[in-house]
Each structure stands twice: as structure tokens, then as C-alpha cells.
Amino acid sequence: MHRFSIDRLIGACVVAGVALAMAPAADAQLLDFSLTQASISFADADPDTTPSITAANVTVNYRVRQNGGGSWRITIMSGTDLISGGATIPISNVTWTAAPAPPFQPGTMSRSIAQTMASGAGNANPATTGTVVFHLANSWNYNVGVYSATFTFTLSAP
């Protein structure tokens, strides 16, 4: 009987440990975040007739729970300028517009400082979406190439 009780106690400890490890703490914010697109592209265009090139819409899906009256924020930052071999296009030539506003706001891409794309307070529940449209300022100064960069979106509820 005594041995049986110890076995059960050990089992209970293991189960509790696993459950504790997997379950969020009661006071933690619950966040959900995703993009419906994995990539976008800016097509080639004549800078004289198309001074700004628009990419396809990006849909941002987010949900914030257990946030009380705290703030939340979606930021965006590029890892690099747009790069094609040795040629670059400054990432500051990429801007975005977004809706709905608020909580979304327009901005200019940066590769050094995360830029705020949306912000609010409290919860955003149920799941909410925003639409972001990126624009590339066109220029004759761009050298021929296929340029790439990676944008990182971050949802945080500090």
C-alpha cells in the first residue's frame, strides 16, 4: 500500500510537471499572430509612368487575450535593404499603407529600427485582421536585378 502511494505520488508529480510546463501562466497574455501571405513581389515598371509600385495586399491576423488594460503593438522591420548581388535598393524606399486605421497606421520600412504598424490597448478578441499594402518608390537609379529582403512582423503585449 505504501509502495502504491509513492508510485501514484511520483506519477502525479510527473503529470503536474508536464501540465505546468505546457500551460500558460494565469497572468500571461495570450497572443495569436499570422500572415496570410508568405511573400510579395514588386513587378518591374517604368519609373516615369509608374513612380510607385504596389505589391499585393498582405492580411495580418492577430488576437490578443488576457491583456487587461495593457497595450499591444505590431511592429515591422526588414533584415536588410533590398539586395541583388552587390546592388541594393534602400529599404526606406518601401512604404506601407494599412487599414483599418486605427489601430493600423502607415509607415516607412527600416532595417535598423522596428517601425510601429499597429497599436492598441486591452484585448483584440475575437481574432482580428488588418490589410497592409506595400509600395516601392520606383527609380531610374535602380540597377538591373532581382532583389530580395525579409520583413519580420512582431506582435507584442508588453
Partner 1 sequence: MRRLLALIVSIVLVAAAPVLRAQNPLTATLSVSATVTARAKLTLSSASMTFPDADPDTVPLVPASGGALTITAKGRTMLGTTVTLVVLASSDLQSGLDTIAANQLAWTATGAGFVGGTMNRTTAQTVGSWVSSGQWIGTQSYALTNSWNYSTGTYTTTLTYTLTAP
Per the DSSP assignment, residues forming a β-bridge with 35 are 60
Least distance in Å: CB of 101 to partner 1? Answer: 20
Among 1, 51, 78, 106, binds partner 1 (CB under 8 A): 78
Phi, psi of 55 (to 5 degrees): -90, 170
With a CB cutoff of 8 Å and minimum separation 6, the contacts of 54 are 133, 134, 135
Of 100 and 143, the one with the shorter C-beta distance to partner 1 is 143
38 binds partner 1 (CB under 8 A): yes
Piece of the chain touching partner 1 by CB under 8 A; list 26-34, 100-108, 115-123: 26-34
Cell of 16: 503536474
Q: Which of 52, 59, 68, 87 binds partner 1 (CB under 8 A)?
A: 87
Q: How many CB atoms lie within 10 A of CB 135?
A: 18
Q: Judged by CB under 8 A, does residue 123 bind partner 1? A: no
Q: Are 53 and 96 in contact (CB under 8 A)?
A: no
Query: Grid cell 536588410 — which residue?
Result: 80
Q: Phi/psi of residue 38, each to 5°? A: -95, -20
**If binding is defined by CB under 8 A, does position 124 make contact with partner 1?**
no
Interface with partner 1, residue 56, by CB under 8 A: no
Q: Return residues touching partner 1 (CB under 8 A).
A: 3, 6-7, 9-10, 13-14, 16-17, 20-25, 28-35, 37-44, 46-48, 53, 55, 58, 66, 78, 82, 84-87, 89, 94, 134, 136, 140-157
